[in-house]
Structure 1
Amino acid sequence: MAKASTLRTRHGAEAEPGDSREGGWGVVVVIAAHMSMAIQVGLLRSWGVVYLSWKEDFETNDKETSAVQSIMSSVMSFSGLPAGVLTQRFGCRITGMIGGGLSSIGLLCSCWVTDIHQFYITAFFTGVGIGICYNSTIVVVALYFKRKYKIANAVACSGLGTGIMAVPPIVQLLLESYGWRGAFLVASAIAANSIALSACYRPNHYMNNNKKSCREHDGLEHEPTREVNKGIHNNKTDFVTLNPKSSNSIVKYIHRLSVTLGFQLFLKSYRLTLQSAIQLQYCLVYVGFVLYLVPRAQSVGVAPSTAAMLLSIFGIGSLLGRLGGGLLVSWRISAEHVSTISLVLAGMSVLLLNFESYYIFAIAAFLHGFASGVFFSIVVVLSRSFIGVRKLAIGVGISQIWVGIGSVTGPILAGWILDTTGESYQTFFYVAGAICFICAVQMFFLPLLRRVEPGIDILPTDA
């Protein structure tokens, strides 16, 4: 009997997700996460194909027309924090299905808009849905994998590169066959597939144990013990605490709100704060690079169709970078070092655009796509090491807000530089390259901040 019990215990331990054996349904989750990212982000980056159709149909100028893409992209980033709250409250499966439904409804309603301002409303809901899908997809992979997480995260995140390569040609084919309204109708059906893919994010044994441990840990963290309170009374220590159970309702509400929204993460993890600041700075460069890559090639006489191929080359680099970043980290190379190298490579690729050769532009597009793919996939790995799995949903949401700020201000900064220097692309690329190198230098401060930050208690099942 004892032997049989031992065998059953050993078999259960081997089958538990998060241990040495990681696979099974986790493989399905990674595939679903990859496809969901490819669909959602691919659609987000494909609307440049129908840009001229919008402009002609609504008879608007470039500023009003480009605002549709700007709203969709910025809302996708800014919805990261509420998406993190939803993920923590309802889980990855329900949250992902909500996001897929919102993005599909937003695209469907766009088929019947009659004014560009109505388009802004539907773009808002589409962006929110994409942001919610992205957060749940990132978190579910972290919940399913521990030892093989870096590789699994790289495979899932590479869906962004797949989407950037595959979806725009599909949208172009739909545009030629059915017009932009018909393209949106089919795109809404494609986006709805994320609902079915998110249904694959079923909870596992590791998730349930993690949630139980989180509740117990939070209870110990926020509720003072009886011995501590007694000691304060005997010593007659006279000071006011911000304990929610002894404070008024307003302070209690503020405390709960700050915990729910993850504001305390900045106070406990200085590394997460610095990493978020680095993401903001890099996004100033990233958005500007994508925005001016094709115009820069056209400025030296490259044909528009040939110049547009640079974006496809950029997408290929991004796909390989997201896969390569996971492999580099899995080879026991420090994630901080990999991120630093990717930022240096990004800075060098930006400076290559100051030359006047299409072949050099193609090399720069591939290198920057590769570097950005590595960087954006590794920052998730770093966030998990800083704050653990149970706070990863909120951490990713906060990071997305910083990404959104950089994405919004990046074009403004680039436009200001071009207006000041008289349409000089070279000046902007020099500034962008310098920003990348400064970000790389800041990465060296992460080990130093680890020694002085209060830190976040990470449970054994939470690492």
Structure 2
Amino acid sequence: MAQTQLKDSVDPWKYVIIFSKFLLVFVECGITKSFGVLIPDMVTRYESDYKTVGFVCGLPTTLMYFSAPVGGLLMKVVNPRIMAISGGILSAVSIICSPLAGSIYILGIMLALTGFGMSLTYFPIIVSLNIYCAKSFIFANTLTIFGSTCGAFLVPIIVERSLEAYGYTGAFLILGGICLHTLVCGAVVRPPKDMKKGEGSTSTSTAQHELMIQRADSTSRETWSDETSNFLPRMNDDTPRTQKKGVPSCNSNDTVNSPNGTRTLCESLTSRMKLFFLFKEPLYTLVMPAIVFFGYVNGAWMLFLVPHAEGAGIQLSRAVFLSSIAGISGIFGRILYLVLLHFKVDSTLIFCVSSVICATSFFIDSVSSSYTFLAVMASIQGFTMFHLDCIPHAMMKLSVRSEENLPQAIAVNPFLFGLGIIVGDFISGHLYDITLSFSFLFMTFGVVLVIITINLVIYKLIDRRRLRDG
């Protein structure tokens, strides 16, 4: 695995980076969960349906992850710290102005800007986290994702009380104030200062980090552009390395002497395909469906948990506490996951078992509509779902075999997760509009989790066979 060749930074600033990632996902997940409280008001206010409102409410989280590749490109020409701070301002101002929207479409644009702003903060932070915690990335990232659990626990209660006390506009103002904390997250972004030339491993990533450190004291735009471009994906840089490893060139003698152009075309196409990131990392390509499908379940479950309880006849003031129950249970789930990681339990096995348990809770969701039963189901779902959301980054780190390809995976991974979220929110809202049954909707979540389990099992079998064959 790529991470076994790396070395963590000893710069104490890494704890600030870890906390900034914690705070960012706190805000992101808190906003997503709080929309579950506001959805009924949005449907009434804009005379819309759950399909459209679900799509719109999923835009902040979706765009935050969906726009990560754009953030990677911007980091080549913009100071990452300035970019991250600007993103925090854009996200907060957009969500504060959201109540002024005269239609559901204008609201969608405002929330999309919120998500894009958070993506400008997200990408520099996740790249910095991988630099500071190159070896212990899975463990460190799991620590930061505690923020999403805390956000799911606290923010919906704050928004529900704000909605009752200050109305729809006041609730969005409170959300904007919470979102403004992403500005602080962006302000702390900087490269580590402890790595010096000759230290650490000989991997490409470490060499790139050393190049960053040599210029860490300079804060000019040109310096930051050079630093970030050293570890962002560049296909042109891969060409010489790949050809040195024996990838056939379209200018080879065999190709020139071929009787027709078929061989030339095939060899040229094969060469180009082998240069493409996903063909160089087949195991990562294999787990991509699991990342997309988990985004589908995670986003839709967060969005429709509270409306599901309201549909069962439970008052909003009580239904909102299901999010808190899920969040508290998720904290224990994350702690268990960290303990299992400490004892070297395979992450893929953990994810498979949790997926089966979570799927079962969705399948039996329709057994009862009592508050006690729904609270138990929410606790089981929170316990499993809030450490299943380690799937994207954990499986990325486990499946990417070359550290040279990891920056490209960091850019692609959030895009896949965001794609799953927006598709899940839209399709789930559409299914509810058709069936008017949250129980049926939750059963579809169970089916998707079963598909995720099958995908991970296939990955693990192939990985074991590869290791056995040497």
The answer to whether residue 17 in structure 2 is matched with residue 29 in structure 1 is: yes
- Find the partner of 1:60 among 47, 52, 66: 47
Q: Deviations over 1:323-379 (max 9, x none)?
A: 433332232111211221221222122123132143332222122122222121243
- Find the partner of 2:373 among 334, 353, 360: 360
The answer to whether residue 157 in structure 2 is matched with residue 144 in structure 1 is: no
Match in the other structure for 1:406: 420
Would the aligned equivalents of 2:9 and 2:131 in 1 still touch at CA under 8 Å?
Answer: no
**What amino acid does structure 2 have at the position aligned with 1:60?**
E
Residue range with higher mean Cα deviation, 110-119 or 353-362: 110-119
Q: 1:176 to 1:30 in 2, by over 3 A?
A: same
- Find the partner of 1:121 among 109, 118, 121: 109
Would the aligned equivalents of 1:350 and 1:429 in 2 still touch at CA under 8 Å?
Answer: yes
Gaps of 5+ in 1: 1-17, 241-250, 454-463
- Find the partner of 1:443 among 433, 441, 456: 456
Q: CA separation in 2, counterparts of 1:165 and 1:154?
A: 17
Using structure 1 for the length normalisation, give the TM-score.
0.75
- Find the partner of 2:255 among 213, 229, 238: 238
Mapping of residues 206-221 of structure 1, within 5 Å: 206=195, 209-211=207-209, 212=211, 221=238
Match in the other structure for 1:316: 328
Match in the other structure for 1:395: 409
Q: CA separation in 2, counterparts of 1:428 and 1:70?
A: 17
Structure number with higher relative contact order (C-alpha < 8 Å, ≥ 6 residues apart):
2
Q: CA separation in 1, counterparts of 2:280 and 2:338?
A: 27
- Find the partner of 1:223 among 217, 240, 263: 240
Q: CA separation in 2, counterparts of 1:287 and 1:234?
A: 48
Q: Deviations over 1:176-216 (max 9, x none)?
A: 55444344445434423322222212101458843548599
Q: Deviations over 1:407-431 (max 9, x none)?
A: 33335554666677x5555554444
Q: CA separation in 2, counterparts of 1:121 and 1:98?
A: 18
Q: Deviations over 1:236-277 (max 9, x none)?
A: 33359xxxxxxxxxx9xxx8xx99xxx923212222222220
Would the aligned equivalents of 2:84 and 2:186 in 1 still touch at CA under 8 Å?
Answer: yes
Mapping of residues 45-194 of structure 1, within 5 Å: 45-51=33-39, 54=42, 58=45, 60-63=47-50, 65-87=53-75, 93-110=81-98, 112-194=100-182
Using structure 2 for the length normalisation, give the TM-score.
0.74
SS of residue paired to 1:380: helix
Would the aligned equivalents of 2:138 and 2:397 in 1 still touch at CA under 8 Å?
Answer: no
Match in the other structure for 1:5: none
**What amino acid does structure 1 have at the position aligned with 2:448?**
I
Would the aligned equivalents of 1:158 and 1:320 in 2 still touch at CA under 8 Å?
Answer: no
**What amino acid does structure 1 have at the position aligned with 2:17?**
V
Query: What's the C-alpha RMSD, in Å, of the aligned pairs?
Result: 4.2
Q: CA separation in 2, counterparts of 1:411 and 1:104?
A: 22
How many residue pairs get matched? Answer: 420
Q: How far 1:154 sits from its partner (Å)?
A: 1.5
Q: CA separation in 2, counterparts of 1:446 and 1:191?
A: 37
Q: 1:367 to 1:397 in 2, by over 3 A?
A: farther
Gaps of 5+ in 2: 1-5, 196-204, 212-229, 258-267
SS of residue paired to 1:45: helix
Would the aligned equivalents of 1:326 and 1:378 in 2 still touch at CA under 8 Å?
Answer: no
Match in the other structure for 2:282: 270
Q: CA separation in 2, counterparts of 1:282 and 1:227?
A: 38
Q: 1:130 to 1:283 in 2, by over 3 A?
A: same
Q: How far 1:104 sits from its partner (Å)?
A: 1.9
The answer to whether residue 373 in structure 2 is matched with residue 379 in structure 1 is: no
Q: 1:443 to 1:434 in 2, by over 3 A?
A: same
